[in-house]
Amino acid sequence: MQRIRLRYTKRGRLRFTSHRDFQRAFERALRRAEVPMAYSAGFTPHPKVSYANAAPTGTGSEAEYLEIALTAARDPEKLRALLDESLPTGLDIVDAVEARTSGLADRLTASVWELRLDGVEAADAERAVQAFNSAESVEVQRMTKNGVRTFDARPAVVRLEARTETQSETADRPTDRPCAILRLVVRHVTPAVRPDDVLSGLRAVADLAPPVPAAVTRLAQGLFDEETGAVTDPLAPDREAAGAPSADPTAAAKASA
């Protein structure tokens, strides 16, 4: 049995697909591409697909990961191309490697996010970011199935900065209007701190309230390097184990710049 790890994206309008929607679309793509999937045992066998830390519904992403188990060996790049052709535009399979190491989920310890705040002046965003970064704690509230939960969002935020450019290459929702752009690096902790929690924190500490919902895109996720502050490519160990050359710089490298 062979295991293949894939990186996929959620772009454009497809960012509004839920994780369950993507699961259904991906399983149809597996059938169309005639992938020799391994199945679970029991009365209702399911294809062996392991998803890792999916982005919330409504957010774009350049770095979602999953792993599939096969009953026959396939070339990862050819398999990637077949699956990409079988998925709708916006749900794109952009990378594939044979799993030669364990613990993919354990290497997803942080995410890099971009938040586009239409209608917010860059100077206002900069002041709010400074207030957030200088705060010792930033309490936010989130509605859960058990009621309202209050927690401190500050410790999970490794880096938060405001950018001055009016456009972004990775923007999920480009606009002609100038807008504030925030770059955010967040550790994956419990409870999980999401981009909307950071926006709630900015509202709490600096009264920053965008007039329209923020366009949020995950640029990268992977292992957080304590020395460099970068979020590294989680598929790199599998390439190294296979003796493959390093991949071209991805969103992870750009996001950590």
Per the structure, the complete domain to which residue 203 belongs is given by 110-224
Same domain, 136 and 171: yes
Same domain, 63 and 134: no
Same domain, 40 and 94: yes
Rounded to the nearest 10°, the torsion over CA 201, 207, 208, 211 is: 120
Q: Which residues lie across from 114 on neighbouring strands?
A: 183, 217
Q: pLDDT tens-digit profile of 178-193?
A: 689 999 999 999 889 9
Residue 257 in domain: no
Q: pLDDT tens-digit profile of 192-245?
A: 999 999 999 999 999 999 999 999 999 999 999 988 889 999 999 999 988 866
Same domain, 60 and 146: no
Q: Is the peptide bond before 191 cis (omega within 30 degrees of 0)?
A: yes
Quick check: 238 and 97 in contact, CB under 8 A? yes
pLDDT value of position 251: 45
The count of domains in the chain is 2
Mean pLDDT lowest among 118-127, 229-238, 244-253: 244-253
**Residue at which a domain ends, from 99, 129, 155:** 99
Residue 18 in domain: yes
Q: pLDDT tens-digit profile of 138-176?
A: 999 988 888 888 999 999 999 999 986 544 444 455 555
Alpha-carbon span 111 to 119, nearest angstrom? 25
- H-run or E-run covering 213: none
Same domain, 116 and 197: yes
Rounded to two decimals, the pTM is 0.87
